[in-house]
Amino acid sequence: MRKPIIAGNWKLNKTPHEAILLADELKRELVDTTGVDIVVCPPFVDLTDVSDALVDHDIAVGAQNVFWEDAGAFTGEISAPMLKDLGVKYVIIGHSERRQYFYETNETVNKRLRAALKHGLTPIVCVGENLAQRESNKTFDVVKDHCEGSLSGLTKDEIQKIVLAYEPVWAIGTGKTATPQQAQEVHIFIRQLLGKLFDDEIAGSVRIQYGGSVTPDNIVSLMAQADIDGALVGGASLKAPSFAAIVKGAKK
């Protein structure tokens, strides 16, 4: 039985002051946290304040990226040991916005993933096709390429420590969510691929989130799908009531 996991990706939103207010509000909204793992991923500069605000609460804190080296002359980067030291538990890796705007590739995603695992952070690895790729029937090819490239060389032990997120780029921030059936067919495809790359038992244990215009209105029908184990939420995670409603809707 896979425990549902809902993560909020705050992207480039919330100053430290605003982040503390949102974290405090989330604590009030999410009193009962049983049956679902809850994660918030603020910008780097908010991580200390949000970790402090949530220290006595079950909401875990994640980062939105991590560099692959531990330390050294890499101006502007943030390493896994730095995140660990702040109490960060999760890290989003390979989000489509990083692939699109910051030249992230499967190779760099794989390096970041290994660094995260080495230091005991739980990676949330994002995969997904854009609109042109979907319209030219390349969805499965792209998702396969993202999974195989990003997860390359992982051991059976390591793959069980990650969370995958299927995020069709055309559904991100557009209000155009994938239908539950469209999402499910990619989720089952990913799970079968994991079965081939690792084994069926492991494939059955890895959690796969859906991301792309998830709201309180569509979470229940998405979670009703057999292979959807949670959501990676952008816009609707920026307001405590809508994020809390999504968390509640995710309890299968």
Closest approach of ligand 13P to the CB of residue 14, in Å: 14
Nearest to ligand 13P of 61, 198 (CB atom) = 61
Determine, following the binding rule CB under 6 A, whether residue 43 of this chain makes contact with ligand 13P: no
b/e burial code for range 136-158 (CB count within 10 A of at least 16 → b): eeebeebbbebbeebbeebeeeb
Determine, following the binding rule CB under 6 A, whether residue 212 of this chain makes contact with ligand 13P: yes
Give yes or no for a contact between 93 and 66, defined as CB atoms under 8 angstroms apart: yes
Which secondary structure element, helix H or strand E, spans residue 81, and what is its range? helix 80-85
Determine, following the binding rule CB under 6 A, whether residue 218 of this chain makes contact with ligand 13P: no
Determine, following the binding rule CB under 6 A, whether residue 127 of this chain makes contact with ligand 13P: no
Residues in 231-250 at the binding interface with ligand 13P, rule: CB under 6 A: 232-236
Amino acid sitting at position 78? I
Judged by CB under 6 A, the residue of 106, 108, 213, 218 near ligand 13P is 213
The answer to whether residue 167 is catalytic is yes
Nearest to ligand 13P of 8, 49 (CB atom) = 8
Neighbouring-strand partners of residue 194: none
To the nearest 10°, the Cα dihedral for 45, 54, 41, 31? Answer: -150
Mask for 78-97, x = binds ligand 13P (CB under 6 A): -----------------x--
Cα(106)–Cα(146) distance, integer angstroms: 6
- Binding range to ligand 13P, per CB under 6 A, among 17-25, 139-147, 186-194, 226-234: 226-234
- Binding range to ligand 13P, per CB under 6 A, among 66-74, 151-159, 211-219, 220-228: 211-219
Judged by CB under 6 A, the residue of 26, 30, 88, 172 near ligand 13P is 172
Size of interface with ligand 13P, in residues (CB under 6 A): 14
Nearest to ligand 13P of 37, 198 (CB atom) = 37
User: What are the φ and ψ backbone dihedral angles of 75, each rounded to 5 degrees?
Assistant: -50, 130
- Binding range to ligand 13P, per CB under 6 A, among 76-84, 128-136, 182-190, 207-215: 207-215
The answer to whether residue 18 is catalytic is no
Cα(38)–Cα(59) distance, integer angstroms: 5
Residues in CB range of 30: below 8 A, 6 or more apart: 38, 57, 59, 244, 247
To the nearest 10°, the Cα dihedral for 170, 219, 125, 50? Answer: 110
Nearest to ligand 13P of 120, 173 (CB atom) = 173
Taking 3-state DSSP, the helix, strand and coil percentages for the chain, each rounded to the nearest 5, stand at 45, 15, 40
Residues forming the site for ligand 13P (CB under 6 A): 9, 95, 167, 172-173, 211-214, 232-236
Q: State the catalytic residues.
A: 95, 167
